Amino acid sequence: MKNKKIKCLILGLIIIGLIVIVYFFLKKNDTIDLDNKIDALSYNMKLDLDTKNKVLNEKVEMEIKNNTRKSIDEIVIRDMTKSLLKYYKENYNKESNNKSEILGIKENDIDLKYTIEKDSIVKVKLNKTLKPNDTVKINVSIKTDIPERQDRFGYIKRNDGYIYALSFCFPYLADNIDGKWILNPYFDDGENRSYDLADYEIEIKHPSDYLVIATGSEETNNGITKITAKNIRDIAIVLSDMYKKDSFEVEGIKINNYYLDSKYTEKYRKLTKLVIEESIKVYTDKVGKYPYDTLDIAPLLFGFGYGGMEYPSLIMTNATSFYDGTMMDAWSLHDGLTHEIGHQWFYGTVGNNEYSEGWIDEGFTTYLERQLFGLYDGEAHKYLREIDEYAPSIEDNIKSREELMETAREDYKDIYLNVSPDKYENDQSYGEAEYETSYIFIQEIRMAMGDEKFNKFLKDFYKTYYLKTVNTDMVLKLIREYDNSKKINEIIDFYFK
Q: Which residues bind Zn ion (CB under 5 A)?
A: 362, 365
Phi, psi of 190 (to 5 degrees): -135, -145
Burial 133-160 (b: 16+ CB within 10 A, else e): eeebebbbbbbbbbbbbbbbbbbbeeee
Pick the closer one to Zn ion by CB: 171 or 421.
421
Find the shortest distance in angstroms from Cβ 369 to Zn ion. Answer: 8
In the complex with Zn ion, the residue whose CB is nearer, 192 or 365, is 365
Minimum Å distance from CB 453 to Zn ion?
A: 26
Q: Shortest gap between Cβ of 366 and Zn ion (angstroms)?
A: 7
In whole angstroms, the minimum distance from the beta carbon of 476 to Zn ion comes to 21
Nearest Cα to Cα of residue 459 among 232, 252, 310, 289 = 289
Q: Is the Cβ of residue 191 or residue 444 nearer to Zn ion in the bound state?
A: 191
The alpha carbon of residue 301 and the mean position of all alpha carbons in its chain are separated, in whole angstroms, by 20
Which residues, in sequence order, are bridge partners of residue 144?
56, 100
Count of CB atoms situated within 10 Å of the CB of 305: 10
Beta bridge partners of 124: 75, 114
Q: List, edge to edge, every strand of the sheet that includes 237-240.
A: 154-158, 161-166, 237-240, 211-214
Q: How far is the CB of 452 from Zn ion (least distance, A)?
A: 27
Q: Which of residues 223 and 303 has its CB atom nearest to Zn ion in the complex? A: 303
**Between 194 and 365, CB nearer to Zn ion:** 365
C-alpha to C-alpha distance for 413 and 428, rounded to whole angstroms:
10
Instruction: Report the distance separating Cα 16 and Cα 249, nearest Å.
Output: 54
Q: Which of 444, 412, 403 minimizes the C-alpha distance to 431?
A: 412
Give whichever of 322 and 439 is closer to Zn ion, judged by the CB atom.
Answer: 439
Closest approach of Cβ 379 to Zn ion, in Å? 24
* Amino acid found at 268: Y
Instruction: Give the span between the Cα atoms of 156 and 211, in whole angstroms.
Output: 15
Minimal distance, residue 335 CB to Zn ion, in Å: 11
Note whether 300 and 154 are within 8 A (CB). Answer: no
Closest approach of Zn ion to the CB of residue 348, in Å:
11
Cβ proximity to Zn ion, 195 vs 210, nearer residue: 195
- Asked if 370 and 446 count as a contact pair (C-beta separation under 8 A), the reply is no
CB 358, CB 434: distance < 8 Å = yes
Nearer to Zn ion, 215 or 365 (CB): 365
